[in-house]
Copies of this chain bind each other. A is one copy, B any other.
Amino acid sequence: MTAAEPLTPPRSSPYSPTQLRTIAAAVDLFTTHGVSGTSLQMIADAVGVTKASIYYQFKTKDEIVLAVAEADLTQLEDAVEAAEAETDPAAARDVLLVRLVDLAVEHRHMVGIIQNDPVMVRLLEDHQPFQLLMARLYRVLVGDDPGVDGRVPAAMLSAAISGAASHPLVSDLDDDALRANLLGIARRFLHVPG
Contact = CB atoms under 8 A, between A and B. Distances in A.
Interface of A: 31-37, 112-113, 115-119, 134, 138, 142, 148-149, 151-164, 167-170, 173, 177-178, 181-182, 185-186, 188-189, 192
B164 A159 contact: yes
A33 B36 CA distance: 9
Copies in the complex: 2
Given A34-B117, A113-B118, A148-B181, A155 B169 contact: yes
Given A142-B169, A159-B167, 11 more contacts: A34-B34, A34-B118, A116-B116, A148-B173, A148-B177, A148-B181, A155-B167, A156-B167, A159-B162, A162-B163, A192-B192
Nearest to A170: B155
A91 B185 CA distance: 23
B34 A138 contact: no
A123 to B, nearest CB: 13
22 contacts: A34-B37, A34-B117, A34-B118, A112-B116, A113-B118, A116-B117, A142-B169, A148-B173, A148-B181, A149-B181, A151-B169, A152-B170, A155-B163, A155-B167, A156-B160, A156-B182, A158-B163, A159-B159, A160-B160, A188-B192, A189-B192, A192-B192
A124 B118 CA distance: 19
